[in-house]
A and B are shown apart, each in its own frame.
Chain A
Amino acid sequence: MNRRQFFKTTGGVTLLSCSGMTSMLMDLYAFGGKANLSQVEARYYKELPEREIECLLCPRFCKLGDKERGYCGVRENIGGKYYTLVYGKVCAINVDPIEKKPFFHFLPKTNALSIATAGCNVNCKFCQNWEISQVRPEQVEHRDFPPKMVVEYARRYTCPSIAYTYTEPAVFFEYMYDTSEEARKKQVRNTVVTGGHINPEPLRDLTEVVDAIKIDLKAFSEQFYADYVRGELQPVLEAIKIVAKSGIWLEIVYLVIPSLNDSVKEIRRTCRWLLEEIGPEVPVHFSRFHPMYLVKNLPPTPVSTLERAHRVALEEGLHYVYIGNVPGHKAESTFCPKCKRVVIKRVGYHIQNVELDGGKCRFCNHPIPGIWS
């Protein structure tokens, strides 16, 4: 993969116009080069007899013999000890608007230094970033970007937060965790964009050092998770509950795919569960699907389907429901649930207007949940 492809894959091309971005990329290339894989001991695993190990990081619980790698492809048993191969080995880096993650109730109008390593612990057939998520780290261009340097770059490019995103951050847990700790020391916030396939213990530990987590709830059926995600729904629901309980900021994205997870019944069940388990204030984004990777036989989601999901969620009592990937749609904006006025007007990732004062609606003083400063 050449340099152009490297940044194109991650959407970086669109960001070259950000001031200073070009020189930042040049810097990265200057220190980067073709880095080798890391060999940093993993934190959640147990040793078994005969140099075997069991990984305890995610619900797959991979059991591996010597020289074997887990399902995610970025962790390897070397002589009976388990190692992450992607510590500090970044394959994607961008300065993104935080709205792109999407976080709509977290430091609006700011940028997040967004990073990823290769690898993922599921295999969604509709993955948008499969060229970096469904590969082994040696199959993509990657750069050395140790935690301190990530934080330094975030500050240098006036990003108040770092986003661990694009692939599945759970699989680069150790790197994300250490970077988050470093970031905290320098008053830089941390956000995580995840599918939620992570075990309770590491997730609880993670919530101690990050500020916001967005979880992709990909459907509300185990069958869909088995067929299209190669994962399980239940651990994701558990993860949502753990994050909500932890008190850090949580948003949910539901990618609506025509005929696969778009029925009113399924959307309603999802919303009811969220309402009962998490409450009405969690922002929920219904995003538009585009044919991708192994699901190319379906059309993009009709806007009317997304509007139907949006309507159902409001009917069920959720307060902050958005439509994603339809730039210019009015459901991109945040409405005050009390006076129904627009308190954050968005067009795509661009924020046109913010009518909040100290986290409250400027018109009726109703508190709008989120991290606003």
Chain B
Amino acid sequence: MKASRVIIVRGRGVLSPRREVDQKKLLQMYERGFRALTGQPDLREGFRSFFHDRDRLGLKINTIAGRELTSVPDVTLGLAKLLAGKGSLKKNIIIWDRTNRELRASGYSLNLRQGIQVFGTDTEGVGYDPTLVSHLNIGSRLSSIQAQHITASISFAILKDHGLAGVTAGMKNYFGAIHNPNKYHDFNCNPFVAELFDTQPIKNKHKLSILDCMVVQYHRGPSFHSRWAEHYNALLFSFDPVAADVAGWQIIEKLRAKKGLPSLREEDREPEYLFTAAKMGLGTAEVREIQTIEEEV
């Protein structure tokens, strides 16, 4: 079933230890991932199954942890260019996050003019939408980028261990789309991650999750600690936001087990919010119900 399928594409050596990107291999990884995800050999057709011609697409990245644990700009731009070129989107793509400072610190060049745009919510004239989104336990202002500028969204998140949430990935990435994420870290971020995702401006625009697993922080996240960061060189794709994060969580558990670390359950910080999200009908949290396809390029 399309909704609960997760594609993991690994590309050995795609990112060098000096964070240089093998562009050819990266492109192959994206192409392989999208083909497997959509079931369409023709990328253009595949993209049409989830974007409309007139969509304005947001790639919500996560630059909070700084250069070492952020999507390398070439990795993000590689995706944006593929979507712009093979997709019907032309150049209606915004790569964005909370602040221009964090984007710059992660190596991104801001671009507010033509082409693929790159800017933060704190850009003069952008900011947070004045409407207070009030839904279940959530009361937040959304970035105007999410609320107004875009019509479709990819959560292009970094997969990380998270001291409070257990795991941060595609769903929690939208914490960076609100003005007050600091208010939602109680109780292992449960139910807040799920409830935020369930708000109309997020749920209705979200098209798919792509997890950047090039470098996975499997312990002591979400800050960068080289000791517990693995060069995993993978991209993970899913239309199901919950299944994507559950599959990401399994990667983290695998890496933790390999290093002899206790599981997140043993540390009492399993990402419960994923089960809450499943109960809310946002996707599948049961591992046995998720079809994971692993590919290697």
Give A residues with C-beta under 8 Å from B: 50-51, 63, 65-73, 123, 125, 130, 134-136, 138-139, 230, 293-294
Select A136's contact among B66, B127, B180, B223, beta carbons within 8 Å.
B180
Say whether B262 faces chain A, with CB atoms less than 8 Å apart.
Answer: no
- Residues from chain A with a CB closer than 8 A to the CB of B185 are 71
Query: Would you list which residues of chain B between 103 and 150 have a CB under 8 Å from chain A?
Result: 122, 127-128, 132, 134, 139
B222 pairs with A65, CB closer than 8 A: yes
The distance in angstroms between the C-alpha atoms of A351 and B219, with both chains bound, is 61
Q: Are B66 and A67 interface neighbours, CB within 8 A? A: yes
With A63-B163, A293-B139 as known contacts, state yes or no: A139 contacts B128, CB within 8 Å.
yes
Which residues in B have their C-beta under 8 angstroms from that of A66? 223-224
* Count of chain B residues near A, Cβ 8 A: 23
Across-interface contacts of B183 in A (CB, < 8 A): 71, 73, 123, 134, 230
Q: How many A-B residue pairs have CB under 8 A?
A: 52
Report whether B139 and A294 are in contact in the complex, using a CB–CB cutoff of 8 Å.
Answer: yes
What is the bound-complex CA distance between A2 and B105, given in angstroms?
A: 29
A75 to B: closest C-beta gap in Å = 10
* B186 contacts A135, C-beta separation under 8 Å: no
Q: Is B65 an interface residue (CB 8 A)?
A: yes
List B contacts of A67 (CB < 8 A): 64-66, 223
In the bound complex, do residue B182 and residue A72 qualify as a contact, i.e. CB atoms below 8 Å apart? yes
**Interface flag for B220 (CB, 8 Å):** yes
Contact partners of B25 in chain A: CB under 8 A: none
Interface residues of B (CB under 8 A from A): 64-66, 99, 122, 127-128, 132, 134, 139, 163, 179-180, 182-183, 185-186, 220-225
Q: Contacts A63-B163, A139-B128 given; indicate if A70 touches B182 (C-beta within 8 A).
A: yes
Out of A50, A63, A139, name the residue touching B179 (CB < 8 Å). Answer: A139
Are the C-beta atoms of A65 and B163 separated by less than 8 Å? yes
Tell me how far the C-beta of B184 lies from the nearest C-beta in chain A, rounded to whole angstroms: 9
Taking a contact as CB atoms under 8 Å apart, the answer to whether B180 and A68 are in contact is no
A167–chain B nearest beta-carbon distance, Å: 13
| Pairwise interchain contact B182-A71, C-beta atoms closer than 8 A | yes
A66 CA to B217 CA in the complex, in Å?
14
User: Nearest residue in A to B121 (C-beta to C-beta)?
Assistant: A139
B222 with A73: CB separation less than 8 A: no
CA distance in complex: A50, B219 (Å): 12
B173 to chain A, nearest CB (A): 16
- Contact yes or no, B223 A68, CB < 8 A: yes
B179 and A135 within 8 A (CB): yes
CB pair A65–B180 under 8 Å, yes or no, is no
- A136–B134 CB distance below 8 A: no
Q: Which residue of B lies closest to A51 (CB)?
A: B223
The 8 closest A-B pairs by CB, nearest first: A65-B223, A66-B223, A73-B182, A294-B139, A123-B183, A71-B182, A294-B134, A69-B182
Bound Cα distance A59, B127 (Å): 31
CB nearest to A72 among chain B residues: B182
Enumerate chain B residues within 8 angstroms of A68, measured Cβ to Cβ.
222-223
The distance in angstroms between the C-alpha atoms of A66 and B186, with both chains bound, is: 18
Write the nearest CB–CB distance from B132 to chain A, whole angstroms. 8
Cα distance A138–B99 in the bound complex, in angstroms: 10
Residues on A with beta carbons closer than 8 Å to the beta carbon of B132:
293-294
A130 CA to B99 CA, complexed, in Å: 22
8 extra interchain contacts, Cβ-Cβ under 8 A, other than A73-B182, A125-B139?
A: A50-B220, A65-B221, A68-B223, A69-B182, A71-B185, A130-B139, A134-B139, A139-B128
